[in-house]
Amino acid sequence: MRSNSEHLLVIGDDKATRDAVSRHLERRGYRVTVAEDDRQALDLIAHQPFDGVLLDVTSPGTGAVEVLAQIQAGDRGAHLPVVVLSADGEIERIAQCLEMGADDYLREPLDPVLLGARVAATLERQRLRKQVQAGLKREEVLAFERDVQIAREIQASFLPESIPQPPGWEIAVSFHPAREVAGDFYDVFPLSNNRRVGFVIADVCDKGVGAALFMGLFRSLIRAFAQQHHTLSWMDALIDDDPVVHATWPGRRRGVPTIGASALRDAIGMTNNYIARTHEQAIMFATVFFGALDPTTGSLLYVNAGHDSPIIVGPGGVRAELEPTGPLVGVIPGETFDIGEAHLDPGDTLLAYTDGVTEARAPDGTFFTEERLMGLVAQPASSAAAIMERVEASVRVFTGDADQYDDITLLGVRRASLL
Amino acid sequence: MENKLDITVSRAGRAGDVTVLALDGRLHTGTARILETKLNELLIHDGNQKLVIDMSRVPFLSSAGMRSLLAGAKTARSRGGGLKIAALLPDIRKLFATTGLDKMFDVHDTVDEAVAAF
């Protein structure tokens, strides 16, 4: 015989029956509480959890059938298994109780063995029902996790399958998504009739499926606007100037040349206007760095829209930080984004990153920091991929067992050294 | 990361019509909802219009935190009021400059200055 800790409520106005039932059940190891009438029974059920009810419906005066209805109507009673006790010859009342959802019945005079068996079987069925319900909950959790996985796969499909590698250049990317879906992305594609290589690194605000959806939108708009411009880019050869009027942003330059400049500015400006106007209520924004590289000369034009400054490092250490030329994208419609200009000499590497790197956290909560990143990047390296691997390894060691809170994305562009 | 953000609300201004929210904690995905709920309660439910956010005890601000501040500013403006930012720590001030948030918000060095600016 198994040891029972289940708590049963015995309801009935006949003391002799109550006592007999209680005694038999207690002998089988159940905890038993008794109620003499419906009011007391409902009060007890409302205030403590029971595993089952034995309801004596013999006496017509107790309104036992109504008690059953009320038990089942209550919050706690709805799933409470009920075994009905009845004197012989009251088949109709038993049938009524079973129709109302009672789980089983016993007739008096009571047989202790039968009582034990029926109660045990009823409680076992209840346990199985609960397991099935818990199983359904697990199913729901699994379905949610599948959705997150699908979101992650769709997100990954927005990243380029292959990275253009112009002769004399190395372009490398690495992307470590956080467990929770987040909104980093990168993109590399030809611009201006293949005369420029466009590359983008961006971080869409916040986390979760919302960030992932907007990541897809930002990425598509930037590329579509940049390449839509591409179809008009015969004008680039004619319009040889994109003058910059004001210089309030640190990365801003005056009188910048040319090919790719308006593609950059229009792609970011139009994306900004689209998100800020069409999705005004969502308040979704991104920090974006968009560069247009001339692989023949090493000249680089860029828009840095509120993104962490990419670093240019040469054989002698850090040469430049490409500071913002405008605010983050998607908040203020009509915002202008200016063009910055830089140059990559042979042996130089540009490293762009998202704040998942600098804000990576050690188990004690301290940040990786920009200073630590700078220290790693400044050391000599044979390739962009080597610098990125060094950074990744250092972040891994730094964070140890701590959770990765945010996506970690790195993009490196290196100009080969002269032989 | 710890999901704790304390918000102390007080009254300021000559007419007592400026509500100051002193935040204490890191403002990120896990705590942004706390601020959003408080801002909505103050702006929409209680009808406050002029808010100052005291950021002197906010050592970390993620993009989710920026969102909650932008949302609060938008709600305040739509109700004829405003939301001003005060007392940024150096790292956060730098972040405001990088992202252009310093041009999207009215940012002041001290809470008193922000209150007086209404």
Distance (Å, whole) CA A88 – CA A290: 87
Q: Residue A200 in contact with residue A222, Cβ under 8 Å?
A: yes
Please tell me the distance in Å from B103's CA to the nearest CA on chain A. 8
A166-176 pLDDT, tens digit each: 999 999 999 98
Q: Answer with the residue of higher pLDDT: A194 or B96.
A: B96
Residue A48, pLDDT above cutoff 70: yes
Could you report the per-residue pLDDT of A151-167, keeping only the tens digit for each? Answer: 778 788 889 989 999 99
A358 touches chain B (CB under 8 A): no
B9 touches chain A (CB under 8 A): no
* pLDDT tops 70 at residue B2: no
pLDDT class for B1, splitting at 50, 70, 90? low
| Between A298 and A111, the higher pLDDT residue | A298
Chain B interface disruption, residue of A179, A275, A285, A309, most B CBs within 10 A: A285
Average pLDDT, stretch A358-367? 89
**What is the structure's pLDDT at A173?**
95
E-strand ranges in A123-276 read: 169-176, 182-191, 196-207
- Is A256's pLDDT higher than 50? no
Neighbours of A146 (CB within 10 A): 10
Contact between residue A301 and residue A260 where contact means Cβ atoms under 8 Å apart: yes
From CA A400, how far away is CA A405, in angstroms rounded?
13
Q: Search chain A and give the residue with CA nearest B63.
A: A205
Q: Do A205 and B99 touch (CB under 8 A)?
A: no
Taking alpha carbons only, the member of A417, A412, A410, A414 closest to residue A394 is A410
Q: Are A65 and A97 in contact (CB under 8 A)?
A: yes
The segment with the largest mean pLDDT, out of A289-293, A358-362, B29-33, B40-44, is A289-293
Of the residues A215, A328, A336, the best mutation for testing chain B's interface (the one with the most B CB atoms within 10 Å of its CB) is: A328
Mark out the alpha helices in chain B (DSSP H runs): 29-40, 63-78, 90-99, 101-104, 111-116
DSSP assignments along A43-60, one per residue: HHHHHS--SEEEEE---G
**Nearest chain A residue to B66, by CA:** A205
Residues of chain A contacting B63 with CB distance shorter than 8 Å: 203-206, 285, 287
B104 touching A (Cβ < 8 Å): yes
Q: What percent of chain A has pLDDT over 70?
A: 89
Q: Which of A3-12, A206-215, B87-96 has the highest mean pLDDT?
A: B87-96
b/e per residue A300-334 (b: at least 16 CB within 10 A): bbbbbbbbbbbbbbbeeeebbbbbbbbbbbbbeee
Q: Do A206 and B29 touch (CB under 8 A)?
A: yes
The answer to whether B3 faces chain A, any CB pair under 8 Å, is: no
Rounded (to 5) percent helix, strand, coil in chain B: 45, 30, 25
Please compute the mean of the pLDDT values over residues A309-335 and round it to a whole number. Answer: 94
How far apart, in whole angstroms, are the C-alpha atoms of residue A228 and residue A100? 69
Across the range B59-86, mean pLDDT stands at 94
Residue in A283, A292, A52, A39 with CA at minimum distance from that of residue B75: A283
**The Cα angle at residue A40 between residues A77 and A27, in degrees rounded to 5:** 80
What letter represents residue A298's amino acid? G
At residue A244 the predicted structure's pLDDT band, cuts being 50, 70 and 90, is: very low
Question: Where residue A94 falls among pLDDT bands split at 50, 70, 90?
Answer: confident
How many CB atoms sit inside 10 A of residue A42's CB?
19
Q: Provide, as residue numbers in chain B, all residues whose Cβ is less than 8 Å from the Cβ of A361.
A: 1
Looking at residue B77, what is its pLDDT?
Answer: 93
More confident residue, A231 or B34: B34
Phi-psi label, residue A119: left if phi above 0, alpha if psi -120 to 50, beta otherwise:
alpha
CA-nearest residue of chain A to B32? A206
Beta strand pairing status for B82-86 and B50-57?
A: parallel
Question: Could you report the per-residue pLDDT of A276-304, keeping only the tens digit for each?
Answer: 999 998 999 999 999 999 999 999 999 99
Residue A166 one-letter amino acid: P
C-alpha dihedral, B64 to B68 to B70 to B71, nearest 10°:
130
Q: What is residue A109's predicted lDDT score, i.e. its pLDDT?
A: 80
Cβ atoms A62, A38 nearer than 8 A:
yes
A283 touches chain B (CB under 8 A): yes
Is the CB of residue A344 less than 8 Å from the CB of residue A312? yes
Specify the pLDDT at position A248: 58
Chain B residue whose CA is closest to A362: B1
Residues in chain B within 8 Å Cβ distance of A360: none
Size of interface A-B (CB pairs under 8 A): 55
Average pLDDT of the segment spanning A318-329: 95
- Chosen for mutation from B63, B70, B83, B104 (greatest number of chain A CBs closer than 10 Å) is B63
A164 within 8 A of A200, measured Cβ to Cβ: no
Q: Are A288 and A337 in contact (CB under 8 A)?
A: no
Using a CB–CB cutoff of 8 Å, tell me whether A306 touches chain B.
yes
pLDDT at A236: 47
Summarize the confidence of residues A50-63 as an average pLDDT.
79
Please give the helix or strand (H or E) that residue A87 lies within, else none: strand A82-87
| Tokens matching residue A107 | 């007739």
Between A116 and A151, where is the model more confident? A116
Q: What is the pLDDT of residue B50?
A: 95
Contact B66 A327 (CB under 8 A): no
How far CA A90 is from CA of A14, A60, A106, A107, A110, in Å, comes to 16, 10, 11, 9, 14
In this structure, what token pair is assigned to residue B29? 């995905």
- Distance between first and last Cα of chain A: 87
* Mean of pLDDT values over A374-399: 93
B64 close to A (CB below 8 A) = yes
- pLDDT for residue A199 is more than 90: yes
Sequential DSSP letters for A234-259: HHHHH---B------STT--SSB--T
Residue A246 has a CB neighbour count (10 Å cut-off) of: 9
Task: Give the model's pLDDT for residue A61.
Answer: 56
How many angstroms separate the Cα of B59 from the Cα of each of A319, B102, B107?
30, 17, 16
pLDDT confidence tier of residue A4, bands split at 50, 70 and 90: low
pLDDT interval class at A252 (50, 70, 90): low
